Structure 1
Amino acid sequence: MILRRIARPMLAGIFVWGGVQALRAPEAHAEAAKPLLDQAAAKAGDRVPQQLATDPVTLVKIDGAVKVVAGIMLATNRMPRLAALLLSGSLLPTTLAAHQFWAEKDPGQRNQQLQHFLKNAGLLGGLMLAVADTEGRPSLGWRARRAGRTVQNHMHDLGEWAHDTGGAVGGAVAAAPRRARKALADVLP
């Protein structure tokens, strides 16, 4: 659909740009993220694995790279649902770290941070829609449930057929795999 071809790059653009900015100046972004990271580290305590990066500059670089790669994936329609999910996961800590309007004392700064916070909430809403967008195809869960019901119905029919043929179980057993494959082929793409 043309709407997706236009909307996805529009939604992705801010993430690619933000990711590039974070990669160019990670120290400035790390300074904003440090209080949130310190709080998270204090709550996690010793439960954080040694191999996990905890340095704010490194985490900002990782976040920037995720935004660039996932943003390009979303913009170019490569695994858009996964890309939108990755961007959602990146947007939450960014918003909480950079736009703490509730902590601002100056009314002008508070208003500006609230505006950015609400903008990011709107972006998160768009990403949630992108995560849920199956492009008109039934979801995997729906297809699996339908396949299960179809196989169950065919097996029931098979049992009735075997009973009606006077117990010709050999023929029923031979037909079962073919019928099950046909039932699955009818439902799965």
Structure 2
Amino acid sequence: MILRRVARPLLASIFISGGINALRDPEGHAQAAKPLVDQTVAPKAESLPDQVPTDPVSLVKVDAAVKIVGGTLLALGRLPRVSALMLLGSLVPTTVAGHPFWEEKDSEQRQAQLVEFLKNAGLAGGLLLAAADTEGKPSVAWRAKKAAHEAVEQVQDTASTVQRRTGKATGRATKAVDKATGKATKAVESALSR
């Protein structure tokens, strides 16, 4: 649909741009991320594997890469649901770290941060819609339920067919036994009457 081909790149553009900007100045973005990193990642840094970055600059670079890759995938319509979830996962910590309006003392700064926070909340809503968009196809849950229902019907049809065929075979066998019994009875009676 043409709407998806226009909407996805529009939604993705802010993430691609933000990711590129973060890669150009990771130290500047790391300063904004540092309070959140200090509260969340730093206390658990020793228990994490050595390959997991724990310093703010590295985390900003990883976040930038997620935004660029996820935004590009979303813009191109490749794995749109997965890429929307990737971007949503990147957006939440970025919003909390970058726009903590609740911490601002100055009312003008608080209002500016609130506007940015709400803008990101709106982007999160768009990403949730993109993540839920099945492009007109039924959902996985619906398809699974339908497949299960069809499988049950197939088993029931097969069981009915087997019962019907078994009943017919039993009927033929009974007739054959009756016929053979009748012939044997006649043969015995014939032999006894001589």
Q: Name the aligned partner's letter for residue 112 of structure 1.
A: A
The alignment partner of 1:54 has SS state of coil
Q: How many aligned residue pairs are there? A: 169
1:128 corresponds to 2:128? yes
Bigger Rg, structure 1 or 2: 2
Secondary structure in 1 aligned to 2:166?
Answer: coil
TM-superposed CA distance for 1:141, in Å, is 1.8
The equivalent residue for 1:61 is 61
Any idea what the Cα deviations from partners look like across 1:21-65, whole Å, max 9, x if unmatched?
A: 000000000000000000003553644333211011011011001
Once residues 73 and 166 of structure 1 are traced to their aligned partners in structure 2, the CA distance between those partners, rounded to angstroms, is: 57
The Cα shift of 1:69 comes to 1.0
The equivalent residue for 1:85 is: 85
**Alignment RMSD, CA only?**
1.6
**1:148 and 2:148 aligned:** yes
Secondary structure, counterpart of 1:28 in structure 2 = helix
Query: What is the CA distance between 1:161 and its match in structure 2?
Result: 1.1
What is the letter of the counterpart of residue 166 of structure 1?
T
One-letter amino acid of the counterpart of residue 55, structure 1: D
The aligned counterpart of 2:6 is 6
- Structure 1 unaligned segments of length 5 or more: list them: 170-189
What does residue 33 of structure 2 align with?
Answer: 33
Match in the other structure for 1:76: 76
Matched, 1:165 2:165: yes
In the alignment, residue 69 of structure 1 is paired with which amino acid? V
Partners in 1 of 2:46 and 2:110 — Cα distance? 35
Contact 1:162 1:168 in 2 (8 A): no
Deviation at 1:104, TM superposition (A): 0.3
1:138 alignment counterpart: 138
| TM-score, with length taken from structure 1 | 0.85
Paired residue for 1:186?
none
Q: Gaps (5+ residues) in structure 2? A: 170-194
Note the alpha carbon deviations across 1:60-108, whole angstroms, 9 max, x for none: 0110011011101111111111110100000000000000000000101
- TM-fit CA distance, 1:142: 1.2
- Scaled by the length of structure 2, the TM-score of the pair is 0.83
- Fraction of identical pairs, as percent: 56
1-side partners of 2:97 and 2:67: how far apart?
16
Match of 1:99 in 2: 99
Q: Cα distance, 1:148 vs. partner?
A: 1.0
